[in-house]
């Protein structure tokens, strides 16, 4: 089990492990990744994700020449946040270590899950275009192993 921290102990409550799994697997919210660039400045990258609740890992498909990949090749530590800006205001954030996957066969399986979550199917025209990048090796998959989850749920406070 990944360690769970209450992000705001004075206000609201922390999510349980099951609530984290439900939140991360049922939402279509963006994950916001925090990386550090060559000049030491933080970069924020909003993107789609897939959460594998069985192994507690987060997966992201992106261009292999994206800024986030450039940053992560040099420093595989990152911060992430997925939060619902609507009442009752819930969220999960944390620090993680990433691995970049270049294997096309591995990446197709993960990317198809992401496309289905956000676009409804791999038949959507945007999904087909994005999948062509994966199949050509122009995209990679970022695998995040969270070190911990810092969570909040303000449903009882609102």
Domain boundaries, the chain: 3-104+139-153
In sequence order, the β-bridge partners of residue 4 are: 149
Q: What CATH number labels 3-104+139-153?
A: 2.30.110.10
124-129 average pLDDT score: 96
* Interatomic CA distance for residues 148 and 93, integer angstroms: 8
* Interatomic CA distance for residues 127 and 27, integer angstroms: 18
pLDDT at position 1? 65
pLDDT at position 157? 59
pLDDT at position 158? 46
Percentage of residues in the chain with pLDDT exceeding 70?
98
pLDDT tens, residue by residue, 33-88: 999 999 999 999 999 999 999 999 999 999 999 999 999 999 999 999 999 988 87
Whole-model pTM: value is 0.93
In sequence order, the β-bridge partners of residue 52 are: 57
pLDDT at position 14? 87
110-134 average pLDDT score: 97
Residues with Cβ within 8 Å of 141's Cβ and at least 6 positions away in sequence, in order, are: 59, 60, 61, 100, 101, 106, 107, 110, 111
User: 2-6, 15-19, 98-102, 140-144: which has the minimum mean pLDDT?
Assistant: 2-6
């Amino acid at each position: 089990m990944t360690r769970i921290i209450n992000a705001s102990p004075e206000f609201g409550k922390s999510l349980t492990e099951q609530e984290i799994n439900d939140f991360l697997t049922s939402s279509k919210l963006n994950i916001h990744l925090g990386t550090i660039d060559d000049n030491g400045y933080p970069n924020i990258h909003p993107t789609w994700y897939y959460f594998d609740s069985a192994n507690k890992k987060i997966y992201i498909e992106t261009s292999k020449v994206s800024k986030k990949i450039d940053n992560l090749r040099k420093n595989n530590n990152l911060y992430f946040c997925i939060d619902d800006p609507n009442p009752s205001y819930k969220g999960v954030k944390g620090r993680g270590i990433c691995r970049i996957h270049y294997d096309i066969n591995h990446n197709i399986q993960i990317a198809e899950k992401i496309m289905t979550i956000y676009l409804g199917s791999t038949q959507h025209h945007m999904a087909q275009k994005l999948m062509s990048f994966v199949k050509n090796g122009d995209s990679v998959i970022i695998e995040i192993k969270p070190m911990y989850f810092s969570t909040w749920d303000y449903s009882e406070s609102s």
